[in-house]
């Protein structure tokens, strides 16, 4: 990865993060960050249901892959 653009500054990724945060509100947590040692981004979601966790994690990860190729 050449440059670690702030993920919140990439519109498609920011939109997916916002959607997850709005849906989860006080019942979950969204943590997205670049790895310090590998060329990848970490997507961590805490939610009351496994379905919501998987849905949001995959949506955010897909946006990151589409925009950054990682």
Residue 22: count other Cβ atoms within 10 Å of its Cβ. Answer: 8
State the pLDDT confidence band at 70, using cuts at 50, 70 and 90: confident
State the pLDDT confidence band at 3, using cuts at 50, 70 and 90: confident
Residue 4: count other Cβ atoms within 10 Å of its Cβ. Answer: 14
State the pLDDT confidence band at 69, using cuts at 50, 70 and 90: confident
What average pLDDT is seen over the chain? 93
Residue 43: count other Cβ atoms within 10 Å of its Cβ. Answer: 23
Does residue 65 come out as left (phi exceeding 0), alpha (psi in the -120 to 50 range) or beta? alpha
Euclidean distance between CA atoms 24 and 39, whole angstroms: 28
Fold of the domain built from segment(s) 7-68: TATA-Binding Protein (3.30.310)
Mind listing the pLDDT tens digit for each residue in 9-60? 999 999 999 999 999 999 999 999 999 898 889 999 999 999 999 999 999 9
Residue that is written with structure tokens 């920011």 in the block: 14
């Amino acid at each position: 990865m050449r440059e670690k653009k702030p993920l919140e500054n990439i519109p498609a990724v920011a939109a997916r993060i916002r959607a997850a945060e709005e849906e989860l509100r006080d019942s979950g947590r969204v943590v997205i960050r670049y790895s310090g040692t590998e060329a990848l981004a970490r997507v961590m979601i805490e939610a009351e249901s496994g379905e919501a966790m998987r849905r949001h994690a995959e949506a955010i990860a897909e946006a990151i892959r589409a925009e950054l190729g990682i």
